[in-house]
Chain A
Amino acid sequence: MTSMSGHDSLRRRSALAAASALVTAVALAACGAPGGTTPETGGVPVSTEIGPDPVMISVRVNADQEAMWAALVEGFQADYPSVTVDLETEAFDTLQQNAPRYLASTDAPDLLRLAAPGDTVVDGLLLDLDPYAEAWGWDAFPASQLEQWTIEDNGRTKGTGTLYGLGAGFGLVGLYVNEAELAALGVEEPTTLDEFEAVLAAAHDAGKVALSGDVTYLFQGLMQSLGATETVRDWVNNVEGADLDVPAAVEAAETLTRWHEEGYLASDAATTDAGTAFGRFLEGGSVFFAHGSWFAGGVDQAGGGPYGFTILPPEEAGAPVATMSASNSMVIPANAEHPNEAAAFLDWIQRDVGRQVIVDVGGLAPGGLGDLDTSALTDRPVFAATLATFERVSADDGIVDFLGNATAAMTSATLVPQSQLLLGGRISPEEFVATLQADYEASQR
Chain B
Amino acid sequence: MSTPPARRGRRSRVALRGRPALRRLPALLWLLPAAIAYATFVLYPLTQTVRYSLYDWNGIGQAVWVGAANYVTVVTDPTLYESLVHTIVLIVFFSFVPITAGLVAATFIRDARSVRAAGAARTILFLPQIVPLAAAAIAWTWLYADDGLINGVLRAVGAGGLARPWLADFDTALPAVGLVGSWAMVGFCTVLFLAGIGRIDASLYEAARLDGASGVQEFFAVTLPGLRHEILVCATVTLIGAIASFDLVYMMTGGGPGFSTMVPGVQIVRLAFTEGRVGLASALAVVLLVIVLLVVLPLQRLGRER
Q: Which residues of chain B are within 8 angstroms of A29 by Cβ–Cβ distance?
A: 47, 50-51, 54
A270 touches B (CB below 8 Å): yes
B117 touches A (CB below 8 Å): no
Is the Cβ of A34 less than 8 Å from the Cβ of B47?
no
In the complex with contacts A21-B43, A408-B275, A271-B168 CB distance below 8 A? yes
The smallest beta-carbon distance between A34 and chain B, in angstroms, is 5
B108 touches A (CB below 8 Å): no
Interface size of A by CB at 8 A reads 40
Is the Cβ of A34 less than 8 Å from the Cβ of B58?
no
* Stretch binding the partner chain, chosen from B178-186, B205-213, B254-262: B254-262
Q: Which residues of chain A are within 8 angstroms of B52 by Cβ–Cβ distance?
A: 34
Q: Mark B161-180, 1 if CB is under 8 A from A, else 0.
A: 00011011010000000000
The smallest beta-carbon distance between A423 and chain B, in angstroms, is 8
Q: Which residues of chain B are within 8 angstroms of A21 by Cβ–Cβ distance?
A: 43, 46-47
Partner of A123, one of B60, B259, B274, B304: B60
Partner of A25, one of B46, B57, B257: B46
Q: Which residues of chain A are within 8 angstroms of B229 by Cβ–Cβ distance?
A: none
A413 touches B (CB below 8 Å): yes
A101 touches B (CB below 8 Å): yes
CA distance A28 to B256 in the complex (A): 37
A232 touches B (CB below 8 Å): no
Secondary structure dominating the interface of B: loop
Interface size of B by CB at 8 A reads 38
Is the Cβ of A35 less than 8 Å from the Cβ of B61?
yes
Is the Cβ of B259 less than 8 Å from the Cβ of A417?
yes
CA distance A30 to B223 in the complex (A): 53
Q: Which residues of chain B are within 8 angstroms of A103 by Cβ–Cβ distance?
A: 60
Q: Which residue of A lies closest to B256 (CB)?
A: A420
CA distance A413 to B274 in the complex (A): 9
Q: Which residues of chain A are within 8 angstroms of B47 by Cβ–Cβ distance?
A: 21, 24-25, 28-29
A412 touches B (CB below 8 Å): yes
Q: Mark B30-60, 1 if CB is under 8 A from A, else 0.
A: 0000000000000100111011101101111
CB proximity to B under 8 Å, residues A200-218: none
CA distance A281 to B123 in the complex (A): 41
A91 touches B (CB below 8 Å): no
CB proximity to B under 8 Å, residues A22-72: 24-26, 28-29, 33-36
Partner of A268, one of B58, B59, B165, B273: B165
A104 touches B (CB below 8 Å): yes
Is the Cβ of B48 less than 8 Å from the Cβ of A35?
no
Q: Mark A250-292, 1 if CB is under 8 A from B, else 0.
A: 0000000000000000111011100010000000000000000
The smallest beta-carbon distance between A196 and chain B, in angstroms, is 24
CA distance A33 to B58 in the complex (A): 12
A424 touches B (CB below 8 Å): yes
In the complex with contacts A271-B165, A417-B258, A420-B257, A101-B170 CB distance below 8 A? no
Q: Which residues of chain B are within 8 angstroms of A26 by Cβ–Cβ distance?
A: 50
CA distance A270 to B256 in the complex (A): 10
Q: Which residues of chain B are within 8 angstroms of A413 by Cβ–Cβ distance?
A: 270, 274-275
Is the Cβ of A412 less than 8 Å from the Cβ of B253?
no
B128 touches A (CB below 8 Å): no
Is the Cβ of A100 less than 8 Å from the Cβ of B59?
yes
CB proximity to A under 8 Å, residues B51-91: 51-52, 54-55, 57-65
B232 touches A (CB below 8 Å): no
Is the Cβ of A271 less than 8 Å from the Cβ of B61?
no
Q: Which residue of B lies closest to A119 (CB)?
A: B58
The smallest beta-carbon distance between A123 and chain B, in angstroms, is 4
CA distance A408 to B58 in the complex (A): 11
Q: Which residue of A lies closest to B55 (CB)?
A: A33
Q: Which residues of chain B are within 8 angstroms of A267 by Cβ–Cβ distance?
A: 146, 164-165, 168
Partner of A417, one of B54, B63, B256, B274: B256
B152 touches A (CB below 8 Å): no
The smallest beta-carbon distance between B84 and chain A, in angstroms, is 17
Is the Cβ of B257 less than 8 Å from the Cβ of A421?
yes
A7 touches B (CB below 8 Å): yes
Partner of A35, one of B60, B275, B304: B60
Is the Cβ of B64 less than 8 Å from the Cβ of A412?
no
Q: Which residues of chain A are within 8 angstroms of B276 by Cβ–Cβ distance?
A: 100, 118-119, 408-409
A416 touches B (CB below 8 Å): yes
B145 touches A (CB below 8 Å): yes
Is the Cβ of A28 less than 8 Å from the Cβ of B168?
no
Q: Which residues of chain B are within 8 angstroms of A101 by Cβ–Cβ distance?
A: 59-60
The smallest beta-carbon distance between A254 and chain B, in angstroms, is 19
Is the Cβ of A268 less than 8 Å from the Cβ of B145?
yes
CA distance A97 to B274 in the complex (A): 6
CA distance A123 to B253 in the complex (A): 32
Q: Which residue of A lies closest to B253 (CB)?
A: A271
The smallest beta-carbon distance between B58 and chain A, in angstroms, is 5
CA distance A7 to B51 in the complex (A): 32
Q: Which residues of chain A are within 8 angstroms of B50 by Cβ–Cβ distance?
A: 25-26, 28-29
Can you sample 11 A-B contacts with CB below 8 Å? Answer: A28-B50, A29-B50, A35-B63, A36-B63, A100-B58, A119-B60, A268-B145, A409-B274, A412-B275, A417-B256, A417-B257
Chain A residues within CB distance 8 Å of chain B: 7, 21, 24-26, 28-29, 33-36, 97-98, 100-101, 103-104, 118-119, 122-123, 125, 266-268, 270-272, 276, 408-409, 412-413, 416-418, 420-421, 424, 426
Q: What would 12 more interface pairs be, CB under 8 Å, given A28-B47, A123-B61?
A: A28-B50, A35-B58, A36-B62, A118-B276, A122-B61, A123-B60, A268-B167, A409-B276, A413-B275, A416-B256, A417-B259, A420-B256
The 9 closest A-B pairs by CB, nearest first: A268-B165, A409-B275, A420-B257, A268-B168, A36-B62, A33-B63, A123-B61, A271-B168, A421-B258
